[in-house]
Amino acid sequence: MAGSPIPLTAFEDRLLAEVPDTDLAELLRSRGLPGRRTETWKWSDLRGALRDVRERSRVYASQAEAPISLGGATVLTLKNGIPQAPHGVEPKPVVKGGEKVGSTYVVEDGLVVSFYDHGRDAEDETLPGEELSALAALRPLMSVSVLPGFTHKIVLRRLSDGEGTHGDNVFVTVGEGARATLIETHEITGSPFVNSRTELELDAKSVCERYIVQPAAPGAVLVHSSVLRLDEAKDEETVKLKQMTLALGAQLARHETRLTHLGESEAKIDALYRLSDSLHTDITSHITFEGEDGVTDQLVKGIGDGRSRGVFQGKFLVQRGAQRTDAQMAHHALLLSKGAQINAKPELEIYADDVECAHGNTAGALDTDALFYMRQRGVPEDEAHSLLIDAFGGEVLDRVEDETVREQLAALFGGAA
Amino acid sequence: MSETQYKDGIDAETVERVQELDTYKYGFTTDIESVKAPKGLNEDTVRFISAKKEEPEWLLEWRLEAFKRWQQMEEPTWANVAYPAIDYQDHYYYAEPKAGAKYESIDDVPEEILADFKKLGIPLREAEVLLGVEGAAESAAAARNTPKVAVDAVFDSVSVATTFQKELQKAGVIFMSISEAVREHPELVRKYLGTVVPTTDNYFATLNSAVFSDGTFVYVPKGVRCPMELSTYFRINEANTGQFERTLIVADEGAYVSYLEGCTAPMRDENQLHAAVVELVTLDDAEIKYSTVQNWYPGDKDGKGGIYNFVTKRADCRGARSKVSWTQVETGSAVTWKYPSCILRGDDSQGEFYSIAITNNHQQADTGTKMVHLGKNTRSRIISKGISAGKSDQTYRGLVSIHGKADGARNFTQCDSLLIGGDCGAHTVPYVEDKSNSAILEHEATTSKLSEEQLFYAQSRGLDEEQAVALLVNGFVKDVLQELPMEFAVEAQKLIEVSLEGSVG
């Protein structure tokens, strides 16, 4: 794209001072952070939300109660982006070229967690639109390997506070034939800017349930990029991923998922958002079908109240030769108040002819006929409202297989009214 | 296609006609001397065009201002189309057949031009049986029932003839080229020109505002239902010449008009530019039905040549209960960039967009619509059917925007894409912006290929593969074909067949 470099904001100036001189820095220097003038961020003005200088976040000093608590789960914690060493496990050094580059912990049988001093190589190429993910990837890496036989749920808590800025960089692999349940939370107090990243790789024959839970954080700016890779089928067993995001808004919150189907594999990329006051949530997904027989089934639903703004951007890219792709996308939104708004862009880009791809998108108010019926049957108006809203959100929650998780998510969803 | 496939009872003319449809049949050129503006684009070009058309000072100023702005603008790159950079200095911006722009009577129109339009199926002599588009005569019954169609014929940069003007005048309908309208009804033109698509709108609309040559002006007065269909036929003949038509249609309170538009161009190896602006205005209770069959030369099977079709079409439904319906069949052009839109300003106003777009070989099309709901209880409906074949790429791009005050607004959108073959692409990029809690918006899109069972069935009943494909495609686009005026629907069905020529097997 043509055009001369734009004047940078104070925030960007400070940010760039800390970014190594690579094409990532060049991208940021020429265009600034993505914002309303960036096609893929037009409804989430990150640049506008981050004009002023922010210091690096200080040591985490708040007390937070976990939004999800699961008995017997293994809990891993990051505080203001810094991974916390697991209790009672001795670290072993990770050595590369004779130099210690990190520490590794065998937390339990089948679960290995490693902390590295550095993130990815800054020289790696950055694609436009992936600047935030690339920035987070520069942070020290926390790597989690799940091996076959490991049966506990893993809760990855990201605790943030203050008004500074920090990022984190987590890499999870689910090994061949392994099964994992991963619950990631964003627990934010105060008004920091958090740039978070999860890379998730599912090896052949593995199965993963992943939940991303973000309680409301009215002052915070959050970008969470997820990069997912599903391996091809092996011995006629396909990789399966079920992901569900429950997002309850922030000053600006973007949950972005990039998924690549290398071949035959199945994914559910669901999300549910509920917003009040002037909260914002952006659910963006970019799903690429590189090989044949990829299946994605996506259901996203959202509710906007007050003066909130909900954004859904979904994209299916079916590459040439990715025959027999089956990709279904649906986004449905409810607007409860006059000031709320919903923006949606469900996109298909298709280069293969033997595919089944569809998307549906609706937006509207609560069904007045149903409300009328319930009131006629003696249900008070408030109750009738909540019943309809619960039923609306319930469609996404019902797709959560684990009962304990589903109940807790439903409670969080209900509590967001 | 062999002759044996035609059964008894089908007349020779039909057989001949269907055979003709095998290739792009409008690719001929007409040898006629023309007067052109010097090649290139600068302020003098703008002055030249304005002087040629004997325009008033205000219009020249309007053009110059647009030109000034255009020089500071950048060509948009967001559309999903790729073409080599256009050298805007390598085009002629004005070409008129020698011996004057507008002819006093039809008898003065050079025979070559009359013959050209006749070849295109647009007879300009009123005495002849008047049919909007060739092809309608295939059915005798249809010919009997076909209403008269008034035609404005635009050849390169000038309108060469407008038929039935007198009869229309009796009803109070003004139907003439925009150049004439500027002279004869300056107050009307000035009141509405640029109020729907301002000179600042976008790169191609701004360029058009600076150098627009000819187009049609229609004004239907209060309460008048236009007694016949109006039609404009656009023809690019000269090489290296851009066509920049400007059409303005105003339907006053309670008026109704149905307008048809057709376009063709010769086959040339170089690309030619067509940047049009169409503005529609409907006041209270008025309705405009605007139908297009766009068949500009698409380039050859290797992607050489063809028209760049960069068009801004927009309707302003200003009045309460007014309605605009866009129907388009897009089969031509090498590159298409076109989004006929509706601004639904009046309460209870309605916008409709029905589209069939077919791309084959190396064609690229990025087309769709915008429905902007401002008024209360405004309704819009979008039905888009895209068919990609060969190595072509097609994108549906649409916006449905519901503003905060558009209580009770409704939209229904359906876009279906069909891929024929593994080397093409079909894309859907809808934007939905909803700020009203009482609006209802529905959108669905599907992408699929032709069903093998259906193809097999059609072939087992004796159709060859290409006929079977054409039959299924016609079924796929049926919802839109139904919206076309009858004469156009017949033409469109044939066009679909031709456009998909060579896409199977």
Type of residue numbered B58: W
Residues of A in contact with B399 (CB under 8 A): none
Let me know if residue A2 belongs to a domain: no
Domain count, chain A: 1
Residues of B in contact with A339 (CB under 8 A): 404
Let me know if residue A192 belongs to a domain: yes
Q: CB of B217 within 8 A of CB of B189?
A: yes
- Beta carbons within 8 Å of B461's beta carbon, 6+ residues apart: none
Q: Which domain holds residue A223?
A: 33-414
pLDDT digits (tens, 9 = 90+) for A123-137: 677 777 889 999 999
The predicted pLDDT at position B484 comes to 81
Residue A40 gets which letter from DSSP?
Answer: G
Interface probe for B, chosen from A349, A355, A385 (most Cβ of B below 10 Å), is A349
Alpha-carbon distances, residue B228 vs A44, B117, B151 (angstroms): 50, 20, 10
**Mean of pLDDT values over B13-35:** 59
Under an 8 A CB cutoff, do B447 and A364 touch?
Answer: no
**Mean of pLDDT values over A389-398:** 96
Type of residue numbered B420: I
Alpha-carbon distances, residue B241 vs B89, B110, B237, B278, B295 (angstroms): 11, 20, 8, 20, 17
pLDDT band, residue B28 (cuts 50/70/90): low
Q: How would you label B2-23 residue by residue, b for 16+ Cβ within 10 Å and e otherwise? A: eeeeeeeeeeeeeeebbeebee
Facing B419 at nearest CB: one of A2, A341, A353: A353
Residues of A in contact with B442 (CB under 8 A): 360-362
Facing A347 at nearest CB: one of B429, B438, B441: B429
Is residue A274 predicted with pLDDT exceeding 70?
yes
Under an 8 A CB cutoff, do B447 and A348 touch?
Answer: yes
- As a whole-number percent, the residues of chain B with pLDDT over 70 amount to 80
Under an 8 A CB cutoff, do A338 and B437 touch?
Answer: yes
The predicted pLDDT at position B465 comes to 85
pLDDT digits (tens, 9 = 90+) for A404-417: 999 999 999 998 87
Structure tokens at B169: 């005048």
Let me know if residue A65 belongs to a domain: yes
Facing B432 at nearest CB: one of A351, A358, A363: A363
Residues on B contacting A at a C-beta cutoff of 8 Å? 74, 77-78, 404, 417, 419-449
Let me know if residue A154 belongs to a domain: yes
- Identify the closest residue of chain B to A322 by CA–CA distance: B422
Facing A351 at nearest CB: one of B425, B440, B444: B425
DSSP, collapsed to helix, strand or coil, labels residue B265 as coil
pLDDT digits (tens, 9 = 90+) for A46-97: 999 999 999 999 999 999 899 998 988 999 999 999 999 998 899 999 998 8
The predicted pLDDT at position B126 comes to 43
Closest chain B C-alpha to A257 CA, distance in angstroms: 18
Under an 8 A CB cutoff, do A358 and B421 touch?
Answer: no
Phi, psi of B18 (to 5 degrees): -65, -35
User: What is the pTM (predicted TM-score) of this model?
Assistant: 0.88
Whether the complex's predicted ipTM is more than 0.85 is answered with yes
For residues A202 and B501, give the distance between their C-alpha atoms in angstroms, rounded to a whole number.
45
Mean pLDDT of chain A: 93
Closest chain A C-alpha to B76 CA, distance in angstroms: 10
The predicted pLDDT at position A345 comes to 96
- Beta carbons within 8 Å of A373's beta carbon, 6+ residues apart: none
The predicted pLDDT at position A364 comes to 92
Interface probe for B, chosen from A361, A369, A385 (most Cβ of B below 10 Å), is A361
Top pLDDT among B207 and A4 is at B207
- Beta carbons within 8 Å of A174's beta carbon, 6+ residues apart: A146, A180, A200, A201, A202, A203, A206, A207, A208
Is residue A152 predicted with pLDDT exceeding 50?
yes
Top pLDDT among B462 and A300 is at A300
The predicted pLDDT at position B139 comes to 35
Residue A110 gets which letter from DSSP?
Answer: T
Is residue B332 predicted with pLDDT exceeding 60?
yes
Is residue B103 predicted with pLDDT exceeding 70?
no
Top pLDDT among A8 and B10 is at A8
- Identify the closest residue of chain B to A38 by CA–CA distance: B78
Judged by phi (left if over 0) then psi (alpha if -120 to 50, else beta), residue B254 lies in: left
pLDDT band, residue B426 (cuts 50/70/90): very high
**Mean of pLDDT values over A359-365:** 93
Let me know if residue A94 belongs to a domain: yes
pLDDT band, residue B128 (cuts 50/70/90): very low
The predicted pLDDT at position B489 comes to 77
For residues B246 and A95, give the distance between their C-alpha atoms in angstroms, rounded to a whole number.
72
Residues of B in contact with A351 (CB under 8 A): 424-425
Top pLDDT among B31 and A355 is at A355
pLDDT band, residue B380 (cuts 50/70/90): very high
Q: CB of B179 within 8 A of CB of B159?
A: yes
Is residue B100 predicted with pLDDT exceeding 80?
no
Under an 8 A CB cutoff, do A349 and B445 touch?
Answer: no
Closest chain B C-alpha to A26 CA, distance in angstroms: 21
Lowest mean pLDDT among A124-133, A284-293, B303-312: A124-133
pLDDT band, residue B116 (cuts 50/70/90): low
Per the document, the length of chain A is 417
Facing A364 at nearest CB: one of B74, B78, B440: B440
- Identify the closest residue of chain A to B420 by CA–CA distance: A353
Is residue A344 predicted with pLDDT exceeding 60?
yes
Facing B404 at nearest CB: one of A338, A351, A358: A338
Residues of B in contact with A363 (CB under 8 A): 432, 434, 439-441
- Identify the closest residue of chain A to B407 by CA–CA distance: A338
Is residue A3 predicted with pLDDT exceeding 60?
no
pLDDT digits (tens, 9 = 90+) for A307-318: 999 999 999 999
The predicted pLDDT at position B79 comes to 87
- Percent helix, strand, coil in chain B (nearest 5)? 25, 35, 40
Residues on A contacting B at a C-beta cutoff of 8 Å? 1-3, 39, 320-321, 323, 333, 335-365
Let me know if residue A3 belongs to a domain: no
Residue-range domain boundaries for chain B: 26-451
Interface probe for B, chosen from A284, A300, A311, A353 (most Cβ of B below 10 Å), is A353
C-beta atoms surrounding B341 within 10 Å: 24
The predicted pLDDT at position B214 comes to 82
Q: How far, in whole angstroms, is CA B492 from its chain's centroid?
A: 13
Lowest mean pLDDT among A42-46, A209-213, B38-42, B380-384: B38-42
Let me know if residue A136 belongs to a domain: yes
- Beta carbons within 8 Å of B57's beta carbon, 6+ residues apart: none
Top pLDDT among B147 and B116 is at B116
Mean pLDDT of chain B: 82
Under an 8 A CB cutoff, do B440 and A343 touch?
Answer: no
Facing B427 at nearest CB: one of A340, A348, A362: A348
